[in-house]
Amino acid sequence: MQAPEATANESRSPESRLQSIMQEHLPPTVAEKEFRALYSLLDDTDESVCLAVRQKLKSYGGTIAPCLRSIWRTETNEHICHSLQLVVQSFQQDALFELVDMVKGTDPDTNDINLEAAILLLSRFGYPETDPIAIAQALDAIALRVHALFMKAPQHNELGLLLSVNQAFFEEAQFAGAEDDAYHHPDNSYAHTLLKSKRGIPISLCALYLLVAERAGVSLFGVGMPAHFVVYHPELDIFIDTFNKGAFLSREDCKRFIHGAGFTYEPSMLDRVSNIAILLRMIRNLIFAYSKSDNNWEVAALQEISAAILETMNQEEG
């Protein structure tokens, strides 16, 4: 795992930096005096002491992660940096283990997982401080706007409702595709950061769009085309390109895209994909994104969990 980029805090004294970081990032549930005491023990040469400190930091929960990352950003003591890495990584590993457990406990009626729960756990891998309640509330708010817009819409039918989803999601909430120079940044895949930046890659935008649509009573599903991901409205027979601000695509449009991307079209390329398939594709995208920035720990962790999920699926099918 690479250390985060340095900030202006590096020009301050160590004590001034620590104080500034605590003021900005220390969770209100953590006493400053206690945290300072723990921090002072992080460079202890006795590994049993360091282990006890890491366990205590872990007990604070994922909300402590931004504080630990910010200290790690400017810390020059390699032993302390390593200890902070281990704490953050333990939060990340917990999220991945929970993902595997989720797949193992798939709904017997649908043989699938809950999409929202899955993308929130994946977000906790990138950002252990991910707040499921805050994200759910943000999605609820967009869905409420869908209803408000639909009530004023000239068409009170499925098309009118879908247009209201697009207006709320793309025009008002301003979600859009990530810029080329930032396309492969891991943040474009995490709900925690995507809801702030409003920029994502096709599959992450589709995932949020599906969750908003579900709240608004619109039945949609994901379609994993080669080199692209879209959403499909079966009643209207319309594909929605969330990366391009909700552009409507016909089946022929999708075929042309597939041919243009250098693939031979097969009807199955426009089939519905499961939520597990969406999760696995998001993990593969993250593996590629982290490999581009040489974040080898993240790459290895995600590769291992992807393999574990596939193994679990194969066992269930067998």
Q: Does the pLDDT of residue 6 top 70, yes or no?
A: no
pLDDT of the residue at 154? 87
Q: How confident is the model at residue 45, as a pLDDT?
A: 86
Contacts 24+ apart (CB under 8 A), 245-248: 245/166, 245/170, 245/176, 245/177, 246/165, 246/166, 246/169, 246/170, 246/209
Please check the confidence at residue 10 and state whether its pLDDT lies above 60: no
Residue in this structure with the two tokens 């281990």, named with its chain if needed: 86
Confidence of residue 16 (pLDDT cuts 50, 70, 90): confident
The pLDDT value given to residue 316: 65
Report residue 75's pLDDT band, with 50, 70 and 90 as the boundaries: confident
Average pLDDT over residues 149-173: 95
pLDDT number for residue 227: 92
Neighbours of 84 (CB within 10 A): 25
pLDDT at 14 exceeding the cut of 90: no
| pLDDT tens, position by position, 26-66 | 999 999 999 999 999 998 889 999 999 999 999 999 999 99
For the chain, give every domain's residue range: 8-93, 105-317
How far lies 48's CA from each of 44, 57, 78, 112, 154, in Å? Answer: 9, 14, 18, 42, 68
Q: Does the structure show a pLDDT above 80 at 317?
A: no
Strands 176-177 and 199-200, bridge-based pairing? parallel
pLDDT digits 0-9 by tens, 90-137:
999 999 999 999 999 887 888 899 999 999 999 999 999 999 999 999
Span 232-271, pLDDT tens digits: 999 999 999 999 999 999 999 999 999 999 999 999 999 9
Confidence of residue 169 (pLDDT cuts 50, 70, 90): very high
Q: In this predicted structure, what is the pLDDT of residue 257?
A: 96
* E strand or H helix at 15: helix 14-25
pLDDT confidence of residue 238: 97
- What is the average pLDDT value for the chain, to the nearest integer? 93
Please compute the mean of the pLDDT values over residues 198-212 and round it to a whole number. 98
pLDDT at position 278 over 60: yes
Q: Which pairs from 292-299 meet CB under 8 Å and 24+ separation?
A: 292/184, 293/2, 293/186, 294/2, 295/1, 295/2, 295/186, 296/1, 297/1, 297/89, 298/1, 298/92, 298/186
Residue 107 DSSP one-character state: B
State the pLDDT at residue 12.
66
Beta-carbon neighbour count of residue 77 at 10 Å? Answer: 12
Above pLDDT 90, what percent of the chain?
84
Task: Judge whether 201 and 144 are in contact, CB under 8 Å.
Answer: no
DSSP-derived 3-state class of residue 235: coil
The whole-number pLDDT of residue 313 equals: 82
Whole-number pLDDT of residue 4: 54
